[in-house]
Chain A
Amino acid sequence: MIELRGLTLSLGAFALRDLSLTVPAGGYTAVLGPSGSGKSVLLRLVAGLLAPERGEVRLDGRDATRLPSERRRLGFVFPEAALFPHLGVGRNIAYGLGAAGLPAASRAARTREIARALGVEALLGRPVQGLSGGEAQRVALARALAPAPRVVLLDEPLAHLDPPAREELRAELTRLHRELGFTALHVTHDQAEARALGQRLAVLREGRLVQEGPRDEVLARPADEFVARFLGAGAAAG
């Protein structure tokens, strides 16, 4: 479960103002908004890569506001994979296992298990250079999921993929979420992606949360014209 209460942060001209949002345990919330609306800042606040000026971040019931990123036990997926270029695929995936307290003996098995779940088992011995965009993002997902985090944050994970790879990985995300049962906060500017993945939708505009609720409800009753326009034809029809 992710609970955000009154998060506030100014970064130069941009400000995130008094943002509160709850992602229920095991839920999947897609945060939508045009670029510059504060989606990535929101995600980095949850991850502990940025600190809020005011407000609270609670993960699975405990206050994580002052915890550094490495102690929040979450998975983070970056827009451009951000694989470690000096490590091979296998060592990228295994990177977080030691810190997660997994004994050295079982790390290889866990690496193989999660690589199989993501369909990248065949890539384990390879260097990360030369992976296709889709492969790299799968490896990045495997790396984030390997320590079995309860909370997974996804920052535009499909934005840099070509359409076929995007479709494929979107389906994969749905399946993984169903099987592993983590709590997901997924940030995107793509309405179709948000509609396909999010059980709940949240719409951000200029650092403010405009609307949040179950997907069908948000699609059926957009709070204002901005949300309606941003959610596009699907919302109008629904």
Chain B
Amino acid sequence: MSAGPALLPRWPRSLGAVAALGLLHLGLALVPGLGLEPETNVLLFAANLYVAYGGWLVFRDGRLAAALGFAAGYLALLGLLLLVLERESLFVLLAIAWASVYRVPVLRWLVLLFVLCYVVLQPYAFECFLPLALAVLAVHGLRRTGADRFRVACLSLGLFVLAALLLPVLHLVSQDSPQTLLATLARPDVLDALGSSLATAGLATLLVLLGGVPLAYALARGRFRGRGAVEVLVDLPILIPQSVVGVAILVLLGPGSPLGRGLEELGLGVAGRFAGVVLVQAFVSYPFLVKAALTAFEGVPTSLEDASRSLGVGPWGTFWRVSLPLAARGVLTGVALAFARAVSEFGALLLVAPQPETGPVLVHRTFLQGGVADSRPVAVVLVLVCLWVFVLLQFGRAFLPGAPRGGAGEVPR
């Protein structure tokens, strides 16, 4: 026996095992009251033969614990699917999958997870399996890097909680058939609401970008008295409740105030207008952009700006040619966050400008009129459209130059 491990047990044993399995299935067929159809029995025999071979391969590689784990998994599948649920074909499928992938740990866990989700958590199979499978892959990836148990445990716990948080959204998205969603998307009120949501949030994000980037740059580079206070004030829109934002804007700019009346006469009123929606959304999304851009600009080494200045390029040119390109990824993250925040604004809009109707306000209205059943497809369409925009913005980062990373001495800083 000079070549590697044998692919089959020696023939007397192989033959014996096949004969024993055959006899077992023959016996099963003869048990009265079991009602096993001959075709099913043959299929089960074939599957069991395959599983037995897989089990032998595990056993051959030497560890008894692994062989016992293999057997335990098989018996669990057998008990659960065949005896409790009586679903032969699913059992055959999963038993073969189990025997096939058992020797690759991460795949083994994925099969178990699939069984758990598909069989035990059946109504929530998709929304449980998707995040948990990603979690299994991430934890497995971390373990392969040789991380210690504490870090693996932290990641596992964190991902489990994250999966639980995602559950309602994923469940929601998996509720309606694509046909229903397309029909919903074709409804004029839904189209109008989506259109005005994208238009207002896009405009609000643009305003916030134009107003936020200079402040973020100044805060990142400036050492002035009151800098800390400014940073706290930037957070103000996050700190106050949405409805309070709505009331505050109405008190200042609503039809009841002198300023609001003046704007109204000029045709620039905010209450119930497009401009009002944009104003509210810009208000609540401003901090997200400023924070992200501030962090990004702080990551650009000042020596690069100094180098640019010493090469004859003024502050304006230096900003455009060095600071902004190197901070672009962070700024784009800020844009994505600000846009997401602007699209999802609801509370203040309900007070200031429920018309023109945006997505969240439409979901609320359909809910009031027809309950969960009516508002669900609208909500799903809104989620999908918003997520799509968010994903596009995030992927846009890949096309931007990265900020320099400190590290090996060979990286120019």
Interface residues of A (CB under 8 A from B): 44, 47-49, 68-76, 78, 80-86, 95-96, 99-100, 128-133, 136, 140, 143-144, 147, 153, 160
Contact = CB atoms under 8 A, between A and B. Distances in A.
A82 B301 contact: yes
B326 A143 contact: no
B326 A75 contact: no
A96 B311 CA distance: 5
B412 A83 contact: yes
Interface of B: 301, 303-304, 306-315, 317, 321-322, 325-326, 401-404, 409-413
B320 to A, nearest CB: 12
Contact of A68 (B301, B304, B314, B411): B314
Contacts of A44: 306
Contacts of A49: 306, 309-310
Nearest to B401: A86
B401 A76 contact: no
A99 B311 contact: yes
B314 A70 contact: yes
The 3 closest A-B pairs by CB, nearest first: A96-B311, A99-B312, A86-B401
A82 B312 contact: no
Nearest to A139: B412
Contact of B303 (A80, A100, A128, A132): A80
Given A47-B310, A85-B412, 16 more contacts: A48-B309, A68-B314, A68-B315, A70-B309, A70-B311, A73-B312, A80-B413, A82-B306, A85-B304, A85-B403, A86-B326, A99-B312, A129-B411, A133-B409, A143-B311, A147-B311
A71 B317 CA distance: 13
B311 A144 contact: yes
Contacts, number: 96
A44 B322 CA distance: 20
A37 B159 CA distance: 52
B409 A82 contact: no
A105 to B, nearest CB: 19
B306 A76 contact: yes
Contacts of B310: 47-49, 69-70, 72, 74-76, 144, 153
Contacts of A78: 303, 306-307
B309 A85 contact: no
A129 B404 CA distance: 9
B313 A82 contact: no
Residue from the set B304, B315, B410 with the largest chain A CB neighbour count within 10 Å: B410
A96 B313 contact: yes
Given A69-B310, A70-B314, A143-B311, A82 B413 contact: yes
Given A78-B307, A130-B410, A85 B404 contact: yes
9 contacts: A70-B311, A76-B307, A82-B303, A85-B304, A85-B404, A86-B326, A86-B402, A95-B308, A130-B410
